[in-house]
């Protein structure tokens, strides 16, 4: 991953554990909902907004801050 992309992340990787979810938009939304139902994430606001993945054409991503 490039340094430029690391600088765009909203949190420092040393501060919190991150779970990256990458897939089609539907897969990402489904996984967010699954994490919420299974209480892996206590609140949906802990996920960053869904954005196009800069390193995979046609894929989207979000990051869960733990």
Q: Where are the alpha helices (DSSP H) in the chain?
A: 3-8, 25-37
Contact 50, 38 (CB under 8 A): no
Contact 30, 42 (CB under 8 A): no
Residue 29: predicted pLDDT: 96
Residue 43, both tokens: 């609140």
Whether pLDDT at 11 is above 70: no
Residue 36: predicted pLDDT: 93
Contact 54, 4 (CB under 8 A): no
């Amino acid at each position: 991953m490039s340094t430029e992309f690391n600088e765009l992340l909203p949190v420092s990787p040393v501060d919190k554990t991150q779970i990256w979810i990458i897939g089609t938009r539907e897969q990402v939304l489904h996984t967010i909902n699954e994490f919420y139902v299974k209480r892996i994430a206590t609140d949906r606001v802990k996920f960053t907004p869904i954005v196009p993945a800069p390193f995979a054409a046609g894929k989207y991503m979000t990051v869960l801050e733990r």
